[in-house]
Chains A and B, each alone.
Chain A
Amino acid sequence: MGGFIVRRLTFAVLIVLGISLVTFVVAHAVPADPVRALAGSHATPSEVAAARRAYGLDKPLPLQYLSFLWSLAHGDLGVSLLSKRPVLDDLTQYLPATIELGVSALILTIIIGVPLGVLSALGTGRAGRVASYVARVPTLLGVAMPPFWLGLLAQAIVAGHFAALPLSGRLDVWNIPPPTVTGLYVVDSLLDGNPSLALAALLHLILPAVTLSFGTIALLTRMIRASMLDVLSQDYIRTARSKGLRGRVVLFRHAFRNTLVTSVTVVGLLTGYLLSGDFLVETVFSWPGIGNYGVNAAVNSDFPAIIGVTMLVAAVYVIVNLLVDLAYPLLDPRVAV
């Protein structure tokens, strides 16, 4: 067990290092004049020269990379050109919003996707090919749906036409955010004893979370369905049925448990995706998370911020994948550690 963990950890660290290299190359070697990029497009010649020295850009590229890694190890991600604050501070401020949205979407995805996936696998056997097509269509549509379009439609119809839910943001303009404990507005409001604020935060969460989870629900449903179909055709299921076990027991004790490996893998991948701040959904709903921050940075060529967001997202992905990998032996005893 120990060896497995060590190997996976080493691998994770190497991946993060590799991504730092790629990010560094993109930010420093790709733009025509990286100094200008880092100093900002409105810098005067003397400011540019000062920036060149300050950022060490007059040194050879490999040395620059090493000093970049050094800063990274010390948690110094540079200063954002837009906000003029350390990038780390910006990220710390915007991350909770993304997490709140991501967790909400993840809960929705699991609650809806898992039963849907299981049920759609069951219907197939009896009703034949037609049912198979009928089950496939919504999931394919869900995968094909542009999330930014769905978000806009949701805004136009639900928030605009029916005025049933808020248009954007985490709270209404006149609300004061709750005192920060976790950074998650719903939780913090409840902790502060302010249920009406919690409700407001929840209402603001609904549209973005539903939009975000649309595609992931479709994906999870498809994957679980495929896995279930595969499992249900196995011999041990037939054995269980011929033993006279009731359908529900067969389903949960035998069929579903064997889909867990696939399911957890997919959920893990989706978690990484959901927690990394979906740029498009956050932009449409003006959700102040790291996705929105990243887009702003990209559009305004705020390279320190871009690097910061990229590294943060990489870290989230790597950690989540690591956790999923470590969960494998628990789910499938056959997996050799």
Chain B
Amino acid sequence: MTISIDELSLRERADDAGMRQRAGGAALAGRLLRNPLTAAGLAVIVVLVACSIAAPLLTSYDPQVVDVSSRFLAPSSQHLFGTDELGRDLFSRILYGGRLSLPAPFEVVAIALLFGSTVGAAAGYVGGAVDETLMRLTDLFLAFPGIVLALAIAAALGPGLPTVVAAVAVVSWPWYARLMRSQVVSVRTREYVEAGRALGGGNLHLLLRHVLPNSLTPVLTQATMDIGYTLLTIAGLSFLGLGAQPPTPEWGAILSVGRSYVTDQWWYSTFPGLAIFLAVTGFVFLGDGIRETLDPRGQR
């Protein structure tokens, strides 16, 4: 009975995913959605994204148009979330704001994931002094509260949403480097990698074809949960005044203005925060569910 290296590698992937069958996408999705929390989280995210995309269909108000005669109107059928200090409709500002607030964490995590994984994979695969140096570097970043460093970087680069994205990405990549490295280190000694090498496979081929695909699961799980926390961090930094600046309708920025009117115009502080909370909750539930399904042995 012969078994190919690809088959061995595929089984490893299936093992990681906690299943003995082919790691089919549909089967995986089915298992994920059976968890009510995960399904709820996914539903919330889908609704929020759909609303942001469909913003022009859901509201007739322009989020930037000022109408001082309508300032500080409480929520009504005319203005679902009320109006702000310049008479702008808050509902439409939040809907359009989703177009800024929702993609931003994806950008951050994508950058951190790509850069961190590359560094981690290189460190784990090459080993030796390179590994040591890179790991000390990540230790440094990890020993430190991210938001402080992000704050300093954002201050240095000047306020704005791209700044915050960059700052949080810089602070987030070390975790992925660490994660990827430990995965690569454990996988590179497996039999199918040795067999591949014996068959004449070069390092790059081995890395791309066998080592990486089997190292991805925990990294992707982490990434999903991180989208939620990153959203929180970005909104927080915007709230502090370092991210998107008014009149940009980013959720954290809206909330920072609403803060001045917290006791009287309750809607101004409630709804943007609610949007942030729902989005983060959705991602956290989704990520938690993914972690439970794909990596039940893992702790984190």
Contacts and interface: CB of A to CB of B under 8 A. Distances in A.
A and B: real partners? Answer: yes
B152 A155 contact: no
B277 to A, nearest CB: 6
A324 interface: no
Contact of A306 (B155, B255, B273, B277): B155
B155 A297 contact: yes
Contacts of A133: 36-37
Contact of B149 (A137, A160, A310): A310
A147 B281 CA distance: 13
Instruction: Name the prevailing secondary structure of the B interface residues.
Output: helix
B105 to A, nearest CB: 13
Contacts, number: 141
B145 A156 contact: no
A9 interface: no
A37 B155 CA distance: 10
A144 B228 contact: yes
B19 interface: no
Interface in B146-199: 147-149, 151-157, 159
B77 interface: no
Contacts of B159: 299
A156 B288 contact: no
Interface string A216-236: 000000000010000000000
A321 interface: yes
A226 B157 CA distance: 40
B152 A299 contact: no
Contact of B156 (A18, A26, A145): A26
B232 to A, nearest CB: 6
A61 interface: no
Given A141-B281, A149-B255, A298-B240, A156 B148 contact: no
A69 interface: no
B277 A144 contact: yes
Nearest to B259: A152
Contacts of A273: 145
A132 B153 CA distance: 41
B273 A294 contact: no
A323 interface: no
Interface in B242-300: 242, 255, 258-259, 262-264, 266, 269-270, 273-274, 276-277, 280-281, 283-285, 288, 299
B152 A26 contact: yes
Contacts of A30: 153, 156-157
B151 A298 contact: yes
Instruction: Pick from B144, B148, B255, B281 the residue with the most CB of A within 10 Å.
Output: B148
Interface in A289-324: 294-295, 297-299, 301, 303, 306-307, 309-310, 313-314, 317-318, 321
Nearest to B155: A298
Contact of A156 (B141, B147, B266): B266
A23 B152 contact: yes
A287 B251 CA distance: 23
Contact of A299 (B136, B141, B155, B285): B155
B263 A167 contact: yes
Interface string A21-40: 01100110011000001000
A152 B152 CA distance: 25
Contact of A318 (B141, B143, B228, B274): B143
A8 interface: no
B240 A283 contact: yes
28 contacts: A15-B143, A22-B149, A133-B37, A140-B285, A145-B277, A145-B280, A146-B232, A146-B273, A152-B262, A152-B273, A153-B269, A155-B262, A156-B262, A156-B263, A156-B266, A160-B263, A226-B299, A276-B145, A279-B147, A294-B148, A298-B151, A298-B242, A299-B155, A299-B240, A299-B242, A301-B155, A314-B143, A317-B143
What are the 9 A-B residue pairs with the smallest beta carbon separation, nearest first?
Answer: A149-B273, A160-B263, A298-B155, A30-B156, A18-B140, A144-B281, A144-B280, A152-B269, A144-B284
